[in-house]
Amino acid sequence: MIAAGIDIGSRATKAVLLNQAAVLSSVIMDTGPESARTSEAAMQALLQRAGVSLGDVEYTVATGYGRILVPFADENVSEISCHARGVNHCFPTVRTILDMGGQDCKAIRCDEKGTVVNFIMNDKCAGGTGRFLEIIAEVLEVPLSEIGEAALGSHHDIPFNTICAVFAKSEAISCLRRGVPRGDILSGLHEAIATRSRNLLKRVGIEKDFSISGGIAKNRGLVQKLAEKVGLEPLLAGDPQLMGALGAALFAREGGRGSGGAGARIHYGYADATGDYFITIDRSRCDGCGECVSACPAGIFALAGRNGAGPRAIVRGEARKRLSALCPGFGSCSRSVSANCHSVCRADAISHSWDG
């Protein structure tokens, strides 16, 4: 079978296509303003490079910041699970992972199967993320791809009191005005990021072996600083930025095997600070009758075909990021209306996570 994984990150979109034995193709591109269109462009590029069509892809898993907006995905899985799974596939001995993304950093501990056993994320501040380094690169007028090498060439770290994006930017500008070499400024910032990352890792427990995933793992200066702080030489994949997409593709390959593709249980939704909000549609049960479309007072559902199969119920793209606001769940809905998606579905193909 052929399976696809798409990682819609805040800064970059990554995608991997797998068959039973190997990676067929991969792609990395900027995430545009519309995640759905970016995902479609990434999939098209992925298919062209592999010389296959969308109809050949039996199962697709989406992950990352925009995973719930991928219109052709059969399932979405958290990026934490996908990064752990992707790294485990490349390095089965790894137990500690630092995923450094565009908008947040995650410390992950996993077991021998790549299953997450603990994690913590820094998503309240841009400090230490890809966006933070972009800001500093712009201020110093150094290409983003060269800041790691510039930091390695320094023999004097300029101490930074903070890596808050706003204050660090001000400190960097002040250093420039005093004539401090750019390499020394970057070395000091990399030192501060490495220290903060080590502290994040310590909260989940640092165990051998250690790996770094995400685009920042391509920054040699930061990788060296992290190795010194953690006391372990990180194991790095050929392209660590693809680890989330690879993990998603591995989950997709398993999902397709278990369901034969067409019988997939497709999950739409998200988890936030208030709870888990997912609507699950079992395609093996759904017969495409469309009763849920007309019964739902919030207009959440639609019918769509996939890979040549007949129409099945889906959650409309524009409703996927607003499920908790639009849908009260089966229980509340049944008390206010005479019919809802659950009561009209003869095959019991629809379930809601927040109805217990």
- Tell me how far apart the alpha carbons of residues 183 and 180 are, in angstroms, rounded to a whole number: 9
CATH number of 269-355, picked from 1.10.490, 2.60.40, 3.30.70, 1.10.730: 3.30.70
DSSP state of 127: T
The confidence score (pLDDT) of residue 91 equals: 97
How would you classify residue 155: left for phi > 0, otherwise alpha for psi between -120 and 50, otherwise beta?
A: alpha
Tell me how crowded residue 108 is: count the other CB atoms within 10 A of its CB: 26
- Tell me how far apart the alpha carbons of residues 217 and 225 are, in angstroms, rounded to a whole number: 11
> What is the location of CATH 3.30.420.40 in the chain?
2-82+244-261, 92-236
Q: Which residues of the chain have pLDDT under 70?
A: 123-128, 161-166, 256-265, 271-273, 306-309, 355-356
Contact 172, 189 (CB under 8 A): yes
Backbone angles phi, psi at 313, to 5 degrees: -70, 140
The confidence score (pLDDT) of residue 262 equals: 41
Contact 223, 236 (CB under 8 A): yes
Q: Tens digits of per-residue pLDDT, 283-305?
A: 778 889 999 999 998 899 999 87
CATH number of 2-82+244-261, picked from 3.20.20.140, 3.30.420.40, 3.30.1180.20, 1.20.1250.20: 3.30.420.40
DSSP state of 318: G
The confidence score (pLDDT) of residue 263 equals: 41
- Tell me how far apart the alpha carbons of residues 285 and 263 are, in angstroms, rounded to a whole number: 8
The candidate with the shortest Cα–Cα distance to 169, out of 133, 214, 218, 195, is: 133
Burial status of residue 100 (CB atoms within 10 A of its CB: 0-12, 13-18, 19 or more)? buried
For the chain, the farthest-separated pair of C-alpha atoms sits apart, in whole angstroms, at: 74
229 Cβ neighbours under 8 A, 6+ residues apart: 194, 195, 197, 198
The DSSP secondary structure of 23-45, one letter per residue, reads EEEEEEEE--S-HHHHHHHHHHH
- Tell me how far apart the alpha carbons of residues 242 and 5 are, in angstroms, rounded to a whole number: 10
CATH number of 92-236, picked from 3.30.565.10, 3.40.630.30, 3.90.650.10, 3.30.420.40: 3.30.420.40
> What is the location of CATH 3.30.70 in the chain?
269-355
Q: Tens digits of per-residue pLDDT, 307-338?
A: 556 788 888 878 887 888 888 887 788 788 88
The confidence score (pLDDT) of residue 354 equals: 75
The confidence score (pLDDT) of residue 62 equals: 92
The confidence score (pLDDT) of residue 306 equals: 62
113: tokens are 């199967």
How far apart, in Å, are the Cα atoms of 69 and each of 88, 125, 195, 306, 345? 27, 24, 35, 16, 25
